[in-house]
Structure 1
Amino acid sequence: MSTHLTTVAGVAVDTRHFIGGERVASTETFTDVSPIDGSVLAEISRGTAMEAAAAVAAAKAAFPAWAATPRAERARLLHAIADGVERRLEELALVETTDNGALLRSHRRGVMPRVAHNFRFFADWLLELDHEDFTTRGHTNHVTWDPAGPCVLITPWNAPLMLATWKVAPALAAGDTVVLKPAEWSPLTASLLADIATEAGLPAGVLNVVQGYGSEVGDPLTAHPDVRRISFTGSVPTARHIAASAAANLTPLSLELGGKSPLLVFADADLDLAADLAVEQYDNAGQVCLAATRILVEAPVAEEFTRRFTEKAAALRQGDPREEATDIGPTIHPRQLEKINGFVRRALEAGARAVIGGHRGAGQYYAPTLLTDVRQDSEIVQEEVFGPVLTLQTFDDEDEAVRLANDTRFGLAATVATGDADRAARVTARLVAGTVWVNCFFVRDLKAPFGGSRHSGVGREGGTWSFDFYCDVKNTVTAPKGFKDHG
C-alpha cells in the first residue's frame, strides 16, 4: 500500500492534497488523532503557501471551461457526485465518526444522506434559477447569475463533510471552481470527497482540496488576489483575521460564525416538549453552532421544567459514538475539552451551581451540564462554549424574555416554546436571529436563507441566496429599438 494511504475503519484514505486532479504530497505532515480513543489515524500532508498557490492556479485554469459548461451538464455532474456519496455512504459515515467523534447512527441516517442532498438540491435549483424579465420605460431588464471565479471554502470540524458540501455544492453549481480547506482536526472525508468527485467525472482543477493549518495554508489562500469568493464557517476571531486578509483584494465574504442562542420557555408551553428541545441541545456533544445553550424559563414553571429536563437528561447515554445506543460522544480534541472545562470551572468559582454535570469524564468526554445561578453579564452566559454545557435563567414577562434573549453579541438562532400562537408571533418578531424555531428545533430546508446577525455572521446562503453570493448577479438592459434587421 502507498505510504500516502491510511486505513480508517477499514476504508483507504489518501493523506495528500488534491490539486488540479492530482494527488500532491507536502514535505511536512501533521497528525490526525481520533477523539474516541486518542489513536493516531494518519499523518496528513501539511500545506504551505506553495500548495495554496498551486491550488488557486489550478482553480483559475479550470474556471473558464467550467463556467462555460451548460447548466444541465453541471447539474448532471453534481447528481453523479451525489450518487457516489450514496454508494459510499457507509464508508463516509465510519470514517467521519472515527475522525471527529460524532454519532455513527447520526452519520448513517441523517448527516451523509444530507451530504448527497446538498448536491442534488443545488443541481436542481440551478436548473430552475431564473428572474422574470421586467421593463423600464419600454426597455427590457434581464437578470443573470454569472460564475464569479475561484472560491476558497474553509470549513469546520464539527460536521466536516456536510458543512463542506453545503458550500462546495452551490459553488460548483454556480459555475465557480473551488479550493476546499478542511479543518485540521477532521480532514479525512474531504479527501474522500475528492475521490468521489473524480469518479463522477468532475474535470481536473474544478475541485481542489488543501489540508493544513490556517496560519500556514489558510492565510495565503484568503489573501490570494485571484480568489473571487471566500466562505468560512468557524469562530469570530478567525473570521476577523480572514476578513482583514480578504480586504486588500475586496474579496466578497460569507461568514457563518458562533452562536449563543436562547431557548425561551413560556409558562403556557408544553413542558415535556420544551424539556425535549432543551435536552436536544446536547446533540454532537454540544458542538453545534446553532445550539440553544441559554435556557430562559418563565419563573412560575422553572422548577417543574427543571425537574422534567433533569429526568430526560439522566436517560442520555454517553460513550463510544460507534455504538447504536450512545447519545453523546466525545469532544473533538484535548484543547477543546480543556476550553470547555475552563468555562465551567470559572463559572462555578463565580457562584454558578451545577444542576447536572459540571465535570470531565474519562478520556475526551465531558459530562452533560446544566448551570444555574448565573449572571447575565457572566462569561458563561455571554461567550460560546461549544460543548455540552447549558445555562438556565428565569424571566417574569415577555419583555424580560426578549431582553435576555437578545442580550449577547451573537444572533445566529433562537428557539421559542409556547402554546400561544399570538405570543409566538410577537416574540419572534422581536428576536435578533438568523433562524427562529417555534416549538421545534433544527428543521432546515435548503431553500431557506441561512446565516447569522451581529457577530454570528455576514450574509446568507441557501436557495437563491447561495447563487447571489457565489455569482456575479448581472442586469442587462436592452432598448426597444436600435438593432439592424439582418433578414
Structure 2
Amino acid sequence: MTEHTLTVAGVAVDTRHWIGGERVASAETFTDVSPIDGSVLGEISRGTAAEADLAVAAAKAAFPAWAATSRAERARILHAVADGVEKRIEDLAIVETTDNGALLRSHRRGVMPRVAHNFRFFADWLLKLDHEDFETRGHTNHVSWDPAGPSVLITPWNAPLMLSTWKVAPALAAGNTVVLKPAEWTPLTASLLADIAAEAGLPAGVLNIVQGYGSEIGDALTSHPDVRRISFTGSVPTAQRITQSAAANLTPLSLELGGKSPLLVFADADLDLAVDLAVEQYDNAGQVCLAATRILVEKTVAEEFTRRFAEKAAVIVQGDPRDEATDIGPNIHERQLEKIDGFVRRAVEAGARAVIGGHRGEGRYYAPTLLTDVAQDSEIVQEEVFGPVLTLQTFTTEDEAVRLANDTRFGLAATLATGDRDRAARVTQRLVAGTVWVNCFFVRDLQAPFGGSRHSGVGREGGTWSFDFYCDLKNTVTAPKGWKDHG
C-alpha cells in the first residue's frame, strides 16, 4: 500500500485522479466517510481548476484519435471494459456498499451486472446505429453521427457507478472523450473503473476521472471552452448553476434532475400489488430520483390500502446493508439526514400525521415514514425529500387524481395501479412524466428514452437518443450528376 491507496474490505483503491492515463495527486484532500457506521475510509485527492484544465486538455488531445477509431474497435474495447467489470463484481459491490450504504446483495446481483450491461448495450447499439438514406429530387441524403468532442459527466451518489457508466458508455461509444466527476460523497468505484478501463486497453486520455467539490472543480469543468457536451444527474439548484456556467460557450446539456413522482391507486386495482408497489418506494432508503413518493389513493379503498401498507412496511428490516437480511440501509450523510428530518418535522408541525415512522434511528438511519393529512400545496408534497418519506392523499374522481398527480413542478416519472385497461390508457396519456409504469415499477430498458419534464430535466438519453446527444448529427446531400468517370 502507498500513501495514495486505501483498503476497503480488502480491496485496494487509489485515491488520486486519473488524467491522461496516469494517476495525479492534488495538494489537498477531502475525507470520505462510510454512511454505515461513520468510519473514515480515507483521504481523497481534492481537485481544483488546475486538475480540471489538465483533464480537459488530456481529453482534447486524445479526441482526434479516438473519434477516428472504427466503430468495431470502439465496441471491442467497450466489451473488454464490461469483461473487466464482470471479473470484479464482488470488489465493486463491497466498495460501493461501504461508500454509499446501498444493499450489498443488490450491488452483487443487480447493480454491478447492470454496469457491465451499460457498456455492452451501447457497444452493440453503436454497431447498428444507422439511418436509411433518402432522396430529395434525385439527391441522396445521408445522416451520420459525428463525435462531438470532450464531454464532462457529473454524477450523483445514490447509484454512483451505475449512473456514471450510464453516461460514460454512450459517450465513449459515440467517439467522444470523457471527463467524469463522481459525487464527492461516493468517489471510490469511479477510481476502480479507471483501473478496469486501462486494463481493457482504453487509450490514455479517453477516460479521465477527477474528484472534488462542485464549487471547486465542477464549475471549472462546466465553464471550460473546450468542453463540447455536459451531462448531469442531480439536484435542480446545481443544474441551474451548471446551465449558467455552460451558457457562455453554448455547451449542449443533458440534465436528469429531481422528482416528486406520484403513485395513483384506483379502486379497481389489485390492492396487494398496489401496496407492494408503494412499499417498494423505500428502496435504497428512499434515495431514488424515480421514487413515487406521493401516493394518491381512491377514497373508497384508502383505509384498507393504508392498513395493508402499514402491515407490510412493519416487516421491513433496516440495518447494515452488508447483511443479506437487510431491506433498507442508511442514508448517505448527516447533512441529508438533517434535511429529511427537517421536512418531516415541519410537515407534522403543519398538521400531518405519521402513520409509520416520522423519526430518526441510530446513526445515519431514518425510519420509513408515511405521512397523511397533508395539503397539496404543502412543502412535503411539493419538494423532493430524497429519503424514506412518503405522503398519502386521497381522490374521488379520475380527473382529480390526474390533477393532483400533475400538480408539482416536477415530471420525472409516475406509477399507476388499475385493473382497467381503458383507464390506464386515458390516465397515462394525461400524466406529465418522462416515464410511466402501469402495475409495475422500475422496469428499465436502455433502448427507451429516459429523462424528465418540467424541472425534472432537459433532454432524453438511452438508445439512439444518447447518440443524438453525444454526437453532432450531420446530413450529407449528394447530387446525382457532376461526377467525372475515372475508369
**CA shift digits 1:234-254 (9 cap, x unpaired):** 000000000000000000000
Within the alignment, does 1:279 sit opposite 2:279 as a pair? Answer: yes
Amino acid at match of 1:36: I
Within the alignment, does 1:256 sit opposite 2:261 as a pair? Answer: no
Question: Which residue in the other structure is 2:435 paired with?
Answer: 435
Question: Which residue in the other structure is 2:456 paired with?
Answer: 456
Shift of 1:315: 1.0
**CA shift digits 1:59-89 (9 cap, x unpaired):** 0000000000000000000000000000000
What secondary structure does 1:355 align onto?
A: strand
Amino acid at match of 2:243: A
Amino acid at match of 1:419: G
Question: Which residue in the other structure is 1:265 paired with?
Answer: 265
Question: Which residue in the other structure is 2:84 paired with?
Answer: 84
What secondary structure does 1:296 align onto?
A: strand
Alignment of 1:387-466 (within 5 A): 387-466=387-466
Alignment of 1:198-277 (within 5 A): 198-277=198-277
What secondary structure does 1:115 align onto?
A: helix
What secondary structure does 1:386 align onto?
A: coil
Question: Which residue in the other structure is 1:355 paired with?
Answer: 355
With normalisation by structure 2, the TM-score equals 1.00
**CA shift digits 1:260-282 (9 cap, x unpaired):** 00000000000000000000000
Question: Which residue in the other structure is 2:159 paired with?
Answer: 159
C-alpha separation in 2, matches of 1:437 and 1:9:
38
**CA shift digits 1:387-442 (9 cap, x unpaired):** 00000000001000000000000000000000000000000000000000000000
C-alpha separation in 1, matches of 2:287 and 2:474:
39
Shift of 1:211: 0.1
C-alpha separation in 2, matches of 1:484 and 1:345:
79
Q: Aligned Cα RMSD in Å?
A: 0.3
Shift of 1:3: 0.4
C-alpha separation in 1, matches of 2:482 and 2:244:
47
Question: Which residue in the other structure is 2:45 paired with?
Answer: 45
Amino acid at match of 1:467: F
Shift of 1:212: 0.1
C-alpha separation in 2, matches of 1:189 and 1:31:
15
What secondary structure does 2:484 align onto?
A: coil
Amino acid at match of 2:173: A
C-alpha separation in 2, matches of 1:25 and 1:59:
18
What secondary structure does 1:127 align onto?
A: helix
C-alpha separation in 1, matches of 2:484 and 2:249:
42
C-alpha separation in 1, matches of 2:250 and 2:485:
43
With normalisation by structure 1, the TM-score equals 1.00
What secondary structure does 2:316 align onto?
A: coil
Within the alignment, does 1:141 sit opposite 2:141 as a pair? Answer: yes
Amino acid at match of 2:12: A
Question: Which residue in the other structure is 1:294 paired with?
Answer: 294
C-alpha separation in 1, matches of 2:99 and 2:10:
13
Shift of 1:483: 1.2
**CA shift digits 1:294-340 (9 cap, x unpaired):** 00000000001111111110110000000000000000000000000
Question: Which residue in the other structure is 1:100 paired with?
Answer: 100
Question: Which residue in the other structure is 1:303 paired with?
Answer: 303
C-alpha separation in 1, matches of 2:48 and 2:247:
21
C-alpha separation in 2, matches of 1:218 and 1:8:
26
Amino acid at match of 1:13: V
C-alpha separation in 2, matches of 1:106 and 1:482:
61
What secondary structure does 2:189 align onto?
A: helix
Q: Structure 2, unaligned stretches of length 5 or more?
A: none
C-alpha separation in 1, matches of 2:70 and 2:158:
35
Amino acid at match of 1:186: T
Identity level (%) = 89
What secondary structure does 1:26 align onto?
A: coil
Question: Which residue in the other structure is 1:129 paired with?
Answer: 129
Q: What is the number of equivalent residue pairs in this alignment?
A: 487
Within the alignment, does 1:172 sit opposite 2:172 as a pair? Answer: yes
C-alpha separation in 2, matches of 1:44 and 1:18:
12
**CA shift digits 1:44-68 (9 cap, x unpaired):** 0000000000000000000000000
Amino acid at match of 2:364: Q
Shift of 1:9: 1.1
**CA shift digits 1:139-193 (9 cap, x unpaired):** 0000000000000000000000000000000000000000000000000000000
**CA shift digits 1:207-230 (9 cap, x unpaired):** 000000000000000000000000
What secondary structure does 2:394 align onto?
A: strand
What secondary structure does 1:281 align onto?
A: helix
C-alpha separation in 1, matches of 2:434 and 2:232:
16
Q: Structure 1, unaligned stretches of length 5 or more?
A: none
